[in-house]
Structure 1
Amino acid sequence: MDAEPIKIAILAMGGEGGGVLADWVVDLGESNGYFAQTTSVPGVAQRTGATIYYVELFPGADLPGARAPVLAQVPMPGDVDIVMASELMEAGRAVQRGFVTADRTTLITSTHRVYSIAEKMAMGDGRVDGDQLLGESRKAARRCISFDMAAVAADSASVISAVLFGALCGAEVLPFNRQQFEHTIERGGVGVKSSLKAFASGVERARADPVTTLASDAPGLRDAAAAQARHPEVARLLAHAQRFEKSVADTAVEGIRRLIDYQDVAYARLYLERLDALAAAKGVDHLLLSETARHLALWMSYEDVIRVADLKTRASRFERVEGEASVQSGQVLQIDEFMHPRLEEICETLPAGLGRWLARPHAVNRIAARLTREGRVVRTSSVRGFMLLYLLARWRRGRRSTLRFELENRRIETWLARLCNLAGIDPALALETARCQRLVKGYGDTHARGLGNYECLMAVVDRHAHRLAPASLKALREAALADEHGHRLQALIAQWALGAPAAN
């Protein structure tokens, strides 16, 4: 027999129905005269756990005296006919592993992103460029069908596997008609109505086969001229921001919105006052002011325990989680928050004097340290858990009195004073110094490591401001971003002899 099996690889993350999709493909084949075999290779905890399902279909099962073929158990590079990916990075992994080839493979992928742990943990912006990832995937495949399947699944109150199954039908790469696909879903007997709706949408989008482009991962800034506000004080702040050059004004408007949401109107006013002071300094140009406006807004909205509690108790967050979990009427959603605040974060959330006292070594400090060794699970879907975080979020009214606010405010003022001084010496060096704020982000250990690297860089700048090249500071910053523990940064500082002079 000269027939060849149809080889299909399905790459999906946990909770997306990858196993159901593989079972549908197997049932589709077996119900229509094909031998079918499926295997799965679970991956490690990438996001929610990535699994490769491999299916082979071989014709002739309905022929008299047919003998079962020997089918492969895993996909081989360069030998896969159809690759289906539930998320764009999974498509990229399939291309990287050689499963997608230009001479034979049809690639069917969703264009949405679920960022990996490695992307989230990066000290800088660790996100992979989605447009580039999609472009490379399209170039690698014989044919590529791509659209946002997660959005289609959400609109259908279904899961992405049903959309992928529909896209597989619409691609017309299997020897089965649409009715045979639909009967496969109906035989499953679970969530048939919503699955058929998602399937139909997948068929239509695949047959349209549009050339897909992605919007930039970073949200676009609103035009400052279009900014409107009903609150008179907010309107005055927005009007003040529009006095800056347009690129600065756009960033400043977003900064105002962010800081009002984070704290209050007075805090946003302080943000503009700081920008005004920098703008008046000698040597400050629009680029430096624009970069500082962005990084200042980020720094002033630092992530503390109060901010985390606020975000976790917002109605919009519960609505988003319910949508992602596809909660149906009558179902109960349980949300557990895994939290592990360090003793330092507890001290910094208290009023400054009390926080400094608790941070000193004494009996109460030791008791508090023991209590924070273990993490805590807070169920925000319960009244008790929700109220615990809700009351903590309301402490933002007292944020200005906390030790963390005092520390961050002092660091920000020192940073701004340094920028004003450097602008008069070397504006390009001041610009690179402003961008070093990227190192200070997150909370807990992430914040501590980033702050340590930042302070190390600022010590270099302060010691060598008159001879340090902007390109050198940029290289040092990139080294710090590439290694959160600072090993690369320290090695580069030693190589360039930029460390502190040895004590006599």
Structure 2
Amino acid sequence: MNFLNAGPSRTIKIAILAMGGEGGGVLADWIVGLGEHNGYIAQTTSVPGVAQRTGATIYYVELFPEELASQASKRPILALMPTPGDVDIVLASELMEAGRAVQRGFVTPDRTTLISSTHRVYSIAEKSAMGDGRVDSNELIAHAGKAAKRYVKFDMALAAEANGSVISAVLFGALAGTGVLPFGRAAFEATIERGGVGVKPSLRAFGASYATTQATEEPVESTPGVRPVQWTVQEPKLMHLLERVRLEHPADLHGTVVEGVRRMIDYQDVTYARLYLDRLQALTASVGKTELALLRETARYLALWMSYEDTIRVADLKTRSSRFERVRDEVRATDKQQLAIKEFMHPRIEEICETLPAPIGRWLMKPHAVHRLIRRFTTSGRVITTSSLRGFLLLWSVSRMRGMRRTTLRFKLEDARIKEWLDEVQRAAAHNPLLALELAQCQRLVKGYSDTHARGLANYRRVMNAVKAEGARMAPATLRDLRDAALADEHGKALDKALARHALV
């Protein structure tokens, strides 16, 4: 066994970083019980995080040998919180929490065994970023590996799900598998059995994690990609669309374009998917099939833009059976348990106007008595319980408006923006395909719903105005710099500086 302490000579210090619902408290109690039943004095404390994803709860456990205390005839005074540079074992339920443990100094290369899951639960800052705000997982893993004496990692959330348990049991199994504590596997398993709750699934998850940890510390993880192209379908209309993809686009683009077709049908209908292919075909005919990067990025971002998030789309996604099933799985509700799902909705008057037929929506957008009356009722949000019949039917009714989406003001506005964007891409491709590629990626600025969409659209317009002003003089690197600045912050301050830096104001 690779004990931290060859004999009962010093305190074992363990920090656990876990989010709500992941069993961090149970894991801490297991470690305390493990120690107390095997000749150690144990203490656990916890420091709650601000919220589930803005700060995990830190559980701190210290184990001190009873034999050493008896020899000294004194009870040890155990610490209440972990101290940077003075932690033997860190267990993190998620990869970002492992990174935070490193950042706080809990992980040191001369002492600390770090055990963490490699899955991600994205932070609020990552999800609310104007662009791709995700922290690079590979960089986190590399940094954690350098910071720790030993780093044990694999997708523990997947292991927990596969065994019908929670991640605390997987972390406990990994802790046992490392051999860093002076207790055998049987002692760990006996601790779980003494708990008396969820024993069988916990033992399954523990065993699977123990085996994974002992087998290798570098498990191979697969990265999901685009679904394979399925060329054989029964529906003639769909078969015609797939045949168009095969004939009109290079083989390297088939996967991306088919995903776009799938998205258009899910969002609207087959006719809308046909419009998507028509637009791509026009660009392909203009630039040729050799500009693979440009065609791929345009196909990708065109699909995203054409499936913009309006009130109809949001209502549709919130009332799908798959969503209810996913939420039920996430909270691990049994068939006998009732699940209540509450949605916070805050539609602005702009969303209301844009959901109406274009002539009515434009009229309502103008400042008059009716406009002011409706705006008064949109100043505060409301909570809708979609798991209730009334709440579900309300959103379901909105989602059924999909058939009239093409008549709405929002569709007219987005359709015009898409055409303008495609025209700019095609115009730039005629003299500089690299600039056209950067233009295609500018669609990243326009995303989201409500205020997020409004801010992104404002930044997009400023960038496009600069492109139009510069014309063929615009360098691809300059446009990339402007786009990155627009994605850096939602208020446009970084974009202001970039425009000034390139003398485009």
Q: TM-score, normalised by structure 2?
A: 0.93
> In the alignment, which residue of structure 2 is the partner of 1:502?
none
> In the alignment, which residue of structure 2 is the partner of 1:106?
113
Match for 1:173: what amino acid?
V
Q: Secondary structure at the match of 2:430?
A: helix
**C-alpha distance in 2, partners of 1:479/1:65?**
63
Give yes or no for the alignment of 1:166 onto 2:173: yes
Counterpart selection for 1:92 from 73, 93, 99: 99
Give the % identical residues: 62
> Superposition pairs for residues 48-63 of structure 1, below 5 Å?
49-60=55-66, 63=70
Match for 1:227: what amino acid?
W
- Residue pair 1:158, 1:194 contacting (<8 A) in 2 also: yes
Counterpart selection for 2:432 from 426, 429, 435: 426
- Residue pair 1:131, 1:213 contacting (<8 A) in 2 also: no
212 and 132 in structure 1: CA distance in 2 versus 1, 3 angstrom threshold? farther
- Residue pair 2:54, 2:124 contacting (<8 A) in 1 also: no
Count residues in correspondence. Answer: 496
Match for 1:94: what amino acid?
A
Give how far 1:230 is off: 2.2
Give how far 1:19 is off: 1.2
Match for 1:277: what amino acid?
A
**C-alpha distance in 2, partners of 1:497/1:117?**
34
Give yes or no for the alignment of 1:478 onto 2:497: no
Q: Secondary structure at the match of 2:238?
A: helix
Q: Secondary structure at the match of 1:466?
A: helix
Give how far 1:153 is off: 1.8
Q: Secondary structure at the match of 2:286?
A: coil
Counterpart selection for 1:348 from 354, 358, 361: 354
Give yes or no for the alignment of 1:251 onto 2:251: no
- Residue pair 1:480, 1:489 contacting (<8 A) in 2 also: yes
Give yes or no for the alignment of 1:132 onto 2:139: yes
**C-alpha distance in 2, partners of 1:222/1:158?**
29
> In the alignment, which residue of structure 1 is the partner of 2:164?
157
Give how far 1:90 is off: 0.8
Greater Cα offset, 178-187 or 466-475: 178-187
Match for 1:473: what amino acid?
L
Give how far 1:49 is off: 4.5
> In the alignment, which residue of structure 1 is the partner of 2:321?
315
Counterpart selection for 1:10 from 16, 21, 27: 16
- Residue pair 2:232, 2:239 contacting (<8 A) in 1 also: yes
> Superposition pairs for residues 255-274 of structure 1, below 5 Å?
255-274=260-279
Q: Secondary structure at the match of 2:486?
A: helix
Counterpart selection for 2:245 from 241, 249, 266: 241
**C-alpha distance in 2, partners of 1:151/1:313?**
26
Q: Deviations over 1:384-428 (max 9, x none)?
A: 111111121111111111111010000001111112222223222
Match for 1:176: what amino acid?
F
**C-alpha distance in 2, partners of 1:495/1:203?**
56
Give yes or no for the alignment of 1:230 onto 2:241: no
**C-alpha distance in 1, partners of 2:65/2:383?**
52
Give how far 1:496 is off: 2.3
- Residue pair 1:43, 1:51 contacting (<8 A) in 2 also: yes
- Residue pair 2:20, 2:52 contacting (<8 A) in 1 also: no
Q: Deviations over 1:46-86 (max 9, x none)?
A: 52741111111010168477421122222222221111010
Give how far 1:35 is off: 1.3
Q: Secondary structure at the match of 1:327?
A: coil
**C-alpha distance in 2, partners of 1:213/1:114?**
20
> In the alignment, which residue of structure 2 is the partner of 1:196?
203
**C-alpha distance in 1, partners of 2:258/2:474?**
33
**C-alpha distance in 1, partners of 2:100/2:72?**
41
What 5-or-longer segments of structure 2 have no aligned partner? 1-6
Match for 1:280: what amino acid?
A
> Superposition pairs for residues 22-421 of structure 1, below 5 Å?
22-45=28-51, 47=53, 49-60=55-66, 63=70, 66-216=73-223, 219-224=224-229, 226-243=230-247, 244-281=249-286, 285-421=291-427
Give how far 1:200 is off: 2.5
Give how far 1:342 is off: 1.3
Match for 2:235: what amino acid?
H
- Residue pair 1:154, 1:326 contacting (<8 A) in 2 also: no
Match for 1:191: what amino acid?
G
- Residue pair 1:13, 1:48 contacting (<8 A) in 2 also: no
Q: Secondary structure at the match of 1:377?
A: strand
Alignment root-mean-square deviation, CA = 2.0
Give how far 1:466 is off: 2.4
**C-alpha distance in 1, partners of 2:99/2:251?**
38
**C-alpha distance in 1, partners of 2:228/2:39?**
60
Q: Secondary structure at the match of 2:17?
A: strand
Q: Secondary structure at the match of 2:462?
A: helix
- Residue pair 2:353, 2:365 contacting (<8 A) in 1 also: yes
> Superposition pairs for residues 455-494 of structure 1, below 5 Å?
455-494=461-500
